[in-house]
A = this chain, B = another copy of it.
């Protein structure tokens, strides 16, 4: 008796012998090959496509003949006519094994396919979402079988998919009967299963085979902006990204002013909760419209946010977060449903996952950054700084990870800056100042030209020159310092002191004129002494936080720095270091991670194991509380100078000359006298 045919699957290399006539999908299932299927082998979903390989495969010891698989059957022909099957592809539920064969499972047919992240640091996310689709055929009711429709759905799931036990969303129950009848007892259900051992929950259902996909939102809920990535839960593809201002800004620009608002105003917390939930509803509708999908297809959302936003999102008064010991109402991750959170744009049964908080001042956003950047897996000592209204700072390597947050305020996001604005077309995002002439050139968002290049005028006419965004103000201040317009203490010199009419007196201080658009009805864009002070406060807070972690760790330098945050990606490392935002380090060791918190949210959205991972990691992070640490104040004061009053910046001094000027007319250095020295 000859042996059963051998089947080898690639890329897994899993192999086994099966009787001739066994469907390829069945063989794959039995071998534990990662091969998708939504319709359960009915030849309609096409998720189980495979590519048989023919010829000699010495590596596998197999020669595959042309008749190794069965001929196309009617189901495959019909599918091909209707939808078209790629050349060389077969539906694995239809094609049966006839002789020895090597079968490749292309990435798009794998359940646990890897998705390449768009961020600068290319890393893959393995798809293993909590919510999946199952196509089932349900027994019709009859008079002699008085079980309910739901009970027959559960029976079909058990018989056709081996799903043992389901719970059902109460609100979904009301939808099931018309959907079953519309689909003629063939439906697709979405089941949510937070982990393999958990009971599956029936989230929603569609008549027939649901082919337009299901989606999840990864939401980074910041103090100033709410950013969302709409992600296909099957492919992991980000189909749309969008942002919206956090409307809570009207209650207070920074976190502590929102906590105060809640303390001072009866019902203030509830007002802020309602505002942010409404913004999330708006964002959900906008992003769905942008991607051309129904909001009803969005079945999951993952939130990352700082503790105050966390509490306000959840409807918990953040008052305890405004005073020591900064007790969180809960620090664990949360699983809840959209309806419980009072969100209206998402289906009520959509599953919400909120990442765990690290401590009362170090939130789920820091946890998300840790998930995305994995400092705990770094061989060298990395400082991860997520720049925002509240900065999340992580320092660590394989040995130990420390975390804190620091209240930088909204200056880095363009708020509290006289000509500040959001990063939007027309905003100045890059500036260069000539150290000799003190003249400047700049670029605006939406154009690639510098303002002294021929193409700029046309772009400016179209976009306007409307203000300075966060990365623009950082460059402006750093360039002013490099050009000797600003002294280390942060004072802007006068026109005489600096030697340029661009330095204009404004009361007892001075401002530096970048662009005067008033002749054409545009704004006059300057950097004022107040702007400098705001940036100094922000960068000092950031630096002091990083230093505090370095103290705790017992080091005075780090190996590398990762700038994260929606805005972190746009910061020029050199300018950030001139400003003294970050500790001195080799310039090429400063990288940008984009919106790491948002990426962390996306990872948690796409992969269930990542949720367990971050829940574990959070417990191992050493939390450092900046608010009660006396050294934080010392570090903060010392970091007020640009780049720093006491810390040497040896790496920086190798590449950037910093003029030693002083414009303090009250001391023994007189106004007008300028000394220049290479640092």
Residue contacts A-B, CB under 8 angstroms, 10 given: A143-B325, A143-B326, A146-B360, A147-B331, A150-B329, A151-B330, A168-B330, A171-B315, A174-B314, A177-B327
Least CB distance from A307 to B in Å reads: 10
Do A330 and B173 touch (CB < 8 A)?
yes
Q: Which of A621-658 contact B (CB under 8 A)?
A: 623, 625, 628
Do B317 and A174 touch (CB < 8 A)?
yes
Known A149-B329, A329-B148: A625·B320 in contact at CB below 8 Å? no
**Bound CA–CA A360/B177 (angstroms):** 13
**Bound CA–CA A146/B307 (angstroms):** 12
Which chain B positions have C-beta within 8 A of A324?
143
Question: Contact string, A299-338, partner B, CB cutoff 8 A, digits 1/0?
Answer: 0000000000000001111011000111111111010100
Which chain B positions have C-beta within 8 A of A146?
326, 328, 331, 358-360, 362, 623, 625
Do B623 and A316 touch (CB < 8 A)?
no
Q: Which of A143-183 contact B (CB under 8 A)?
A: 143, 146-151, 168, 170-171, 173-174, 176-178
Least CB distance from A153 to B in Å reads: 9
Q: Determine whether A340 belongs to the interface, using a CB cutoff of 8 Å to chain B.
A: yes
Q: Determine whether A558 belongs to the interface, using a CB cutoff of 8 Å to chain B.
A: no
Question: Contact string, A264-303, partner B, CB cutoff 8 A, digits 1/0?
Answer: 0000000000000000000000000000000000000000
Question: Contact string, A7-40, partner B, CB cutoff 8 A, digits 1/0?
Answer: 0000000000000000000000000000000000
Partner of A331, one of B148, B170, B327, B330: B148
Known A143-B625, A151-B330: A317·B170 in contact at CB below 8 Å? no
**Bound CA–CA A518/B359 (angstroms):** 79
Q: Determine whether A486 belongs to the interface, using a CB cutoff of 8 Å to chain B.
A: no
**Bound CA–CA A331/B336 (angstroms):** 26
Least CB distance from A547 to B in Å reads: 19
Which chain B positions have C-beta within 8 A of A148?
327-332, 357
Which chain B positions have C-beta within 8 A of A319?
177
**Bound CA–CA A261/B317 (angstroms):** 45
Chain B residue at minimal CB-CB distance from A154: B332
Which chain B positions have C-beta within 8 A of A360?
146
Which chain B positions have C-beta within 8 A of A178?
317
Which chain B positions have C-beta within 8 A of A317?
174, 177-178
Known A143-B625, A146-B623, A324-B143: A174·B316 in contact at CB below 8 Å? yes
Across the A-B interface, give the 3 residue pairs with the lowest CB-CB distance, nearest first: A146-B359, A148-B331, A141-B327
Least CB distance from A143 to B in Å reads: 5
Known A148-B331, A327-B149, A360-B146: A173·B340 in contact at CB below 8 Å? no
Q: Determine whether A461 belongs to the interface, using a CB cutoff of 8 Å to chain B.
A: no
Q: Determine whether A119 belongs to the interface, using a CB cutoff of 8 Å to chain B.
A: no
Chain B residue at minimal CB-CB distance from A361: B146
Which chain B positions have C-beta within 8 A of A332?
148, 150-151
Q: Determine whether A341 belongs to the interface, using a CB cutoff of 8 Å to chain B.
A: yes
Q: Determine whether A142 belongs to the interface, using a CB cutoff of 8 Å to chain B.
A: yes
Least CB distance from A324 to B in Å reads: 6
**Bound CA–CA A360/B141 (angstroms):** 10
**Bound CA–CA A318/B298 (angstroms):** 28
Least CB distance from A169 to B in Å reads: 9
Least CB distance from A543 to B in Å reads: 23
